[in-house]
């Protein structure tokens, strides 16, 4: 179980724009174990989507992976040829996106789009591909699968389209499923159903999942481990329980305190003041310092390093390099 | 699709009735007495009376209209005032000549224009893109008559590679069957004459194709660029689809919807351009036929000629609309 199927090492993806290089992902390390669900959490703009597209080698112009390795089953995808990557995409690693309304091609039938991956990767006959498509549609909980094959995307609701997207990503039984904010665009009941489906895929097909979201509430339900991302870096990483009960980075603490709790509806939710800085705008010190309630003089000068706290828990915060720093974190932020 | 087609065909009826009314009253709106306008002030009253009788202008207008439309429904466009020959018979060879020229020009414009646009978008900012778009910019601003004259000067006069006027060798005319010479010579298996017909087509069809080709290339490029940024294209790539099919299957069908509008508009403009091209290249087409009729004040020919061109215009629009529905599944349900 604890064998990594994917290891991202020192990955840097920069956008080479006219106004200079934008370090959207600026040196991140994480791994995904076989059969595990890993959550990547962070506010919008922290580099989550760029990370997932980097794994698929689908970062569009002017983006470029400038450094690092992405080891899939030991093979470095950064160095892989385009031909090899086409085998990986959809065949070994499936991906679904945030916007189910626009992620399906409006002019092709659902059936056509579903069997496409099978025809690419499995060289299946039309009939066999059709059978398999209907099977996977049933697995992801789509009703009247046979009829749906002949429908166009605009005839389906958002929730159904996202199920189609999941079916499409899973149809070749990839080892890894990357889900980039799969529930963000959906309403709450549908969100819960989609999350249940992801859990089911993880349990029944033993698919390893990278679950990307800005919502800690979502990851806490399905993920075994969580990596918290901020401004193109991972600031904290740990097993879900320990990270949520005992966050060691002020940013994570802020995120945890902003999870809505149904038990205390009246209480005003905490929200972290300010916004994620644009990549590259913080030249010196910790990029979170400007928004951090615990910041002290060193934070605007030194760059924090990743500190291993044991039990798979790691954090990148200068407080942990100080004596008594960790105790300071116990005070509430509200 | 069938219901939509039938509905669109039914909608043609009021349009055609309206058009026939307009051309019908056009000839009657000539100030004063049409017979005098045609024959001139000096004609004898008897001659004028005879012509009025011949034109059927003594009848009440609705009787005249019913008779005219009755004739039209049987394919009878009336008789030429100048030659007394049935217009339908006289007009067909000219119409076929225009059809052949316009069709070849449109094929050149669409095939080259669309593909140049696609490749420019696919390899955006490459040398191909820059070259194609500079040429397209030159193309849209090129007056047909200037281009035609330059072609004649370079390829006919200076190099002597191609004939500069007409559509056949006057000393060895082609036997007409349909009057579409490429087809006729093929039917007759006369490959030498096929070559002759083809050679005569090259210069005028290129002159006629240049502007629509440039416009279509630019439109295709911008439409493709927009589509290729969309989420469903990312989905297709994430499946492991080959770039060629991502471009020619997933992108093109979507990008083609606005391109089709452009093609339809350009085909309408092409009819106008055909008149000009026919004049420059002495191409015996419908434009020349009508211009000659105007010179000879042959009002019945002008009337029916305009009706024929207007009908072609309407039919092109119909075909474009039907193609829309065939490409875009969302249209039928609106
Ligand atoms: N095409 C691009 N050109 C320039 N910068 C980009 C581009 N795409 C993303 N970025 C930069 O990368 C940052 C992270 O983006 P993204 O990974 O989409 O964030 P997230 O998914 O976490 O919301 C953005 O704030 C932006 O500055
Ligand atoms: Mg994102």
Closest Cα in chain A to B249? A108
Rg (CA), chain A: 21
CA dihedral A237, A239, A244, A249 (to 10 degrees): -20
More confident call, B2 vs B311: B311
Q: What total of structural domains would you count in chain A?
A: 2
Residue pairs between chains A and B whose CB atoms are closer than 8 Å: 74
Q: Nearest-CA distance from B315 to chain A in Å?
A: 25
CA A306-A2-A195 angle, to 5 degrees, is: 85
- C-alpha to C-alpha distance for A236 and B154, rounded to whole angstroms: 73
pLDDT band for position B30 (50/70/90)? low
Max alpha carbon distance in chain A (Å)? 67
Residues of B with CB under 8 A from a CB of A: 124, 229-232, 234-242, 250, 253-254, 327-330, 333
Out of A11, A14, A15, give the residue to mutate to test ligand 1, the one with the largest number of ligand atoms within 8 Å of its CB.
Answer: A15
- pLDDT over 70 percentage in chain B: 98
Judged by CB atoms closer than 8 Å, whether chains meet at B235 and A94 is answered as no
Report ipTM (2 d.p.). Answer: 0.90
Are β-strands A233-239 and A313-316 bridged in parallel, bridged antiparallel, or unpaired? Answer: antiparallel
Annotate chain B with three-state secondary structure.
Answer: CHHHHHHHHHHHHHHHHHHHHHHHHHHHCCCCCHHHHHHCCCCCHHHHHHHHHHHCCCCCHHHHHHHHHHHHHCCCCCECCCCCCEHHHHHHHHHHHHHHHHHHHHHHHHHHHHHHHHHHHHCCCCHHHHHHHHHHHHHHCCCHHHHHHHHHHHHHHHCCCCCCCCCCCCCCCCCCCCCCHHHHHHHCCCHHHHHHHHHHHHHHHHHHHHHHHHHHHHHHHHHHHHHHCCHHHHHHHHCCCCHHHHHHHHHHHHHHHHHHHHHHHHHHHHHHHHHHHHHHCCCCCHHHHHHHHHHCCCHHHHHHHHHHHHHHHHHHHHHHHHHHHHHCCCHHHC
Which residues from chain B sit within 8 angstroms of residue A116, using beta carbons?
236, 239, 241
Which residues from chain B sit within 8 angstroms of residue A165, using beta carbons?
235
A292 and A232 together in one domain: yes
Range of the domain at A272: 4-92+174-331
Non-local CB neighbours of B222 within 8 Å, separated by 6+ positions: B121
What is the average per-residue pLDDT within B28-36?
71
How do residues A69-102 score in pLDDT, each as one tens digit? 999 999 999 999 999 999 999 999 999 999 998 9
What is the average per-residue pLDDT within B209-235?
96
Out of A12, A24, A211, give the residue to mutate to test ligand 1, the one with the largest number of ligand atoms within 8 Å of its CB.
Answer: A24
User: What is the torsional sign of CA A210, A216, A222, A226?
Assistant: positive
Rg (CA), chain B: 24
Judged by CB atoms closer than 8 Å, whether chains meet at B239 and A120 is answered as yes
A217 and A72 together in one domain: yes
Q: Which two tokens stand for residue B61?
A: 């207008």
A307 and A199 together in one domain: yes
Judged by CB atoms closer than 8 Å, whether chains meet at A121 and B240 is answered as yes
Closest Cα in chain A to B252? A107
Asked if residue A42 has its Cβ within 6 Å of ligand 1, the reply is yes
Mean pLDDT, rounded, of chain B: 89
Closest Cα in chain B to A55? B238
- Say what the pTM is: 0.85
A215 and A156 together in one domain: no
Cα atoms in the 13 Å half-sphere on the side-chain side of A4: 14
Out of A11, A12, A16, A22, give the residue to mutate to test ligand 1, the one with the largest number of ligand atoms within 8 Å of its CB.
Answer: A22
How do residues B253-306 score in pLDDT, each as one tens digit? 999 999 999 999 898 888 888 888 999 999 999 988 998 888 887 888 888 998
What domains appear along chain B, each with residue ranges and CATH number?
19-73 (no CATH), 91-327 (1.10.3720.10)
Asked if residue A50 has its Cβ within 6 Å of ligand 1, the reply is yes
Judged by CB atoms closer than 8 Å, whether chains meet at A116 and B239 is answered as yes
Nearest residue, CB atoms, B231 vs list A60, A85, A102? A102
Closest Cα in chain B to A166? B235
Asked if residue A275 has its Cβ within 6 Å of ligand 1, the reply is no
Judged by CB atoms closer than 8 Å, whether chains meet at A104 and B239 is answered as no
End-of-domain residue from the set A151, A173, A195: A173
A291 and A314 together in one domain: yes
A163 and A226 together in one domain: no
Q: Nearest-CA distance from B129 to chain A in Å?
A: 16
Residue whose entry in the numeric block shows the structure tokens 């892989």: A80
Judged by CB atoms closer than 8 Å, whether chains meet at B239 and A168 is answered as yes
Which residues from chain B sit within 8 angstroms of residue A109, using beta carbons?
329
A73 and A105 together in one domain: no
Q: Nearest-CA distance from A125 to chain B in Å?
A: 17
Asked if residue B306 lies in contact with residue B25, where contact means CB atoms within 8 angstroms, the answer is no
CA A46 to ligand 1: nearest atom? 22
**Mean per-residue pLDDT pooled into runs of 10, chain A (334 residues):** 87 92 94 96 94 95 94 96 96 94 95 94 92 94 93 94 94 96 89 92 95 88 94 95 92 87 62 86 89 90 90 92 78 61
Best probe of the B interface among A92, A107, A151, A176, by most B CBs < 10 A, is: A107
Assess whether pLDDT exceeds 80 at residue B317.
yes
A228 and A294 together in one domain: yes
A188 and A114 together in one domain: no
Contacts 24+ apart (CB under 8 A), B174-182: B176/B93, B178/B96, B179/B92, B179/B93, B179/B95, B179/B96, B179/B97, B180/B96, B180/B99, B180/B100, B181/B100, B182/B100, B182/B104
Give contacts of A 141-160 with B, CB under 8 A: 152, 154-155
- CATH code, A264: 3.40.50.300
B232 strand-pairing partners: none
Judged by CB atoms closer than 8 Å, whether chains meet at A94 and B238 is answered as yes
Asked if residue B55 lies in contact with residue B38, where contact means CB atoms within 8 angstroms, the answer is no
User: A320: which DSSP letter?
Assistant: G
Q: What are phi and psi of A73, to 5 degrees?
A: 50, 35
Assess whether pLDDT exceeds 90 at residue B67.
no
End-of-domain residue from the set A140, A173, A206: A173
What is the average per-residue pLDDT within B1-16?
87
A26 and A117 together in one domain: no
Nearest CA to ligand 1 atom 12: A24
Best probe of the B interface among A116, A165, A175, by most B CBs < 10 A, is: A116
Judged by CB atoms closer than 8 Å, whether chains meet at B239 and A90 is answered as yes
Asked if residue A24 has its Cβ within 6 Å of ligand 1, the reply is yes
A165 and A188 together in one domain: no
A163 and A282 together in one domain: no
pLDDT band for position B334 (50/70/90)? very low
Residue whose entry in the numeric block shows the structure tokens 């200068």: A318
């Amino acid at each position: 179980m604890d064998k990594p199927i994917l290891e991202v090492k020192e990955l840097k993806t920069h956008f080479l724009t006219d106004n200079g290089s934008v370090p959207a992902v600026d040196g991140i390390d994480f791994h995904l174990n076989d059969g595990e669900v890993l959550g990547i959490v962070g506010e919008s703009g922290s580099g989550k989507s760029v990370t997932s597209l980097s794994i698929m080698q689908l970062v569009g112009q002017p983006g470029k992976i400038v450094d690092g390795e992405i080891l899939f089953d030991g093979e470095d995808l950064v160095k892989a040829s385009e031909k090899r990557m086409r085998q990986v995409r959809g065949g070994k690693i499936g991906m679904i996106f945030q916007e189910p309304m626009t992620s399906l091609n409006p002019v092709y039938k659902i059936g056509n789009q579903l069997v496409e991956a099978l025809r690419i990767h499995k060289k299946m006959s039309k009939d066999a591909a059709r059978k398999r498509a209907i099977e996977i549609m049933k697995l992801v909980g789509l009703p009247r699968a046979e009829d749906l094959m002949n429908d166009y995307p605009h005839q389906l609701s958002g929730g159904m389209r996202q199920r189609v997207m999941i079916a499409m990503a899973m149809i070749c039984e990839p080892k890894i499923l990357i889900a980039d904010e799969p529930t963000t665009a959906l309403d709450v009941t549908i969100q819960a159903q989609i999350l249940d489906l992801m859990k089911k895929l993880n349990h029944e097909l033993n698919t390893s999942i990278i679950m990307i979201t800005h919502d800690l509430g979502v990851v806490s339900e399905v993920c075994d481990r969580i990596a918290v991302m901020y401004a193109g870096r991972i600031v904290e990483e740990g097993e879900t329980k320990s990270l949520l009960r005992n966050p060691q980075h002020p940013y994570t603490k802020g995120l945890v305190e902003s999870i809505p709790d149904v038990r205390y509806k009246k209480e005003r939710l905490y929200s972290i003041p300010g916004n994620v800085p644009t990549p590259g705008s913080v030249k010196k010190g910790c990029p979170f310092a400007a928004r951090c309630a615990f910041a002290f003089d060193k934070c605007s000068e030194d760059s924090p390093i990743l500190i291993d706290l044991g039990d798979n828990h790691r954090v990148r915060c200068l407080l942990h390099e100080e004596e008594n720093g960790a105790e300071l974190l116990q005070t509430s932020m509200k | 699709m069938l219901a939509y087609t039938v509905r669109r065909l039914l909608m043609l009826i009021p349009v055609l009735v309206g058009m026939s009314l307009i051309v019908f009253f056009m000839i009657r709106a000539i100030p004063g007495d049409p017979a005098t306008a045609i024959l001139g002030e000096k004609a004898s009253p008897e001659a004028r009376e005879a012509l009025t009788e011949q034109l059927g202008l003594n009848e009440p207008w609705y009787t005249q209209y019913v008779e005219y439309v009755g004739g039209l429904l049987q394919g009878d466009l009336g008789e030429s005032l100048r030659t007394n020959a049935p217009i339908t018979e006289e007009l067909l060879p000219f119409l076929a000549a225009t059809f052949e020229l316009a069709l070849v020009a449109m094929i050149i414009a669409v095939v080259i224009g669309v593909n140049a646009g696609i490749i420019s978008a696919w390899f955006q900012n490459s040398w191909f893109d820059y070259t194609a778009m500079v040429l397209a910019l030159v193309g849209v601003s090129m007056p047909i008559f200037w281009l035609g004259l330059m072609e004649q000067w370079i390829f006919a006069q200076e190099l002597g590679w191609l004939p500069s006027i007409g559509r056949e060798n006057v000393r060895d005319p082609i036997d007409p069957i349909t009057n579409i010479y490429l087809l006729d010579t093929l039917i007759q298996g006369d490959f030498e004459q096929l070559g002759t017909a083809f050679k005569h087509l090259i210069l005028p069809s290129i002159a006629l194709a240049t502007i629509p080709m440039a416009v279509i290339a630019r439109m295709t490029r911008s439409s493709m660029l927009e589509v290729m940024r969309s989420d469903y294209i990312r989905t297709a790539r994430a499946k492991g689809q080959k770039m060629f099919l991502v471009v020619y299957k997933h992108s093109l069908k979507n990008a083609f919807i606005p391109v089709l509008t452009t093609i339809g508009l350009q085909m309408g403009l092409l009819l106008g351009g055909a008149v000009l091209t026919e004049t420059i290249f002495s191409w015996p087409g419908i434009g020349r036929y009508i211009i000659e009729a105007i010179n000879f004040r042959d009002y019945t020919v002008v009337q029916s000629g305009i009706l024929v061109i207007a009908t072609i215009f309407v039919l092109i629009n119909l075909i474009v609309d039907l193609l829309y529905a065939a490409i875009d599944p969302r249209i039928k349900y609106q």
